[in-house]
Structure 1
C-alpha cells in the first residue's frame, strides 16, 4: 500500500504561481489590442471609453485603415495611471 501526503499550503502556492505565470504568457502574446479587446479589458462600452479617456492626448492609439489599434503594454500602463488619477 502506498500513502502519499501533500502539503496543501505548498500545493496551493505552486498552483497559484503556475496560474499567474500562464496569465502573463497570455498577456505577452498580444502586442496590440483592437477596440473589442479594449472593451473586454476595461469592462467598458465603446461609448464609455470614448467619453472617459479615448480623446486624452496621452492615450496610445493608432488608426490603421478604418480600425483602431492600441499597443497592449502602453495601453495597460495608461489605464493603470488613468484609474489611479480618477480615484484620487
Structure 2
C-alpha cells in the first residue's frame, strides 16, 4: 500500500510563486499601451488622465495616426513617480 502526504501550505506557497511569475511575464509582454489600456491600468477616465498628467512634458506618449500609444515600461515609471509626487 502507498501513502502520500501533502503539505498544503507548501503547495499554496509554490502555487503563489508560479502565479506571480506568470503575471510578471504577461505584464512585460506588452511593449506599449493604447488609451484604453492606460485607462484600465490607472483606473482613471480619459478626462481625468488628461486633467492630471497627460500634458506633463515628462509623460511619454506618441501619436500614430489618430491614436495615442504609451511605452509600457516608461509609462509605468512615470506613473509611479507622478503618484509619489502627489503625497
TM-score, normalization: structure 1? 0.92
Deviations 1:26-79 (A, max 9, x none): 111100100000000001100010011101110010001110000000001111
Q: Distance in 1 between matches of 2:71 and 2:41?
A: 13
Query: Structure 1: which 5+ runs fail to align?
Result: none
CA shift, 1:8, in A, is 2.1
Instruction: Give aligned pairs, total.
Output: 87
Q: Distance in 2 between matches of 1:4 and 1:54?
A: 57
Bigger CA drift: 2-11 or 28-37? 2-11
- Secondary structure of 1:70's counterpart equals strand
CA shift, 1:9, in A, is 2.1
Query: Structure 2: which 5+ runs fail to align?
Result: none
- Secondary structure of 1:44's counterpart equals coil
Stretches of 4+ moved more than 3 A in 1? Answer: none
CA shift, 1:5, in A, is 1.5
2:84 paired with 1:84: yes
Q: How does 1:35-54 map to 2 (within 5 A)?
A: 35-54=35-54
1:23 alignment partner in structure 2: 23
Aligned alpha-carbon RMSD (Å):
1.0
1:14 alignment partner in structure 2: 14
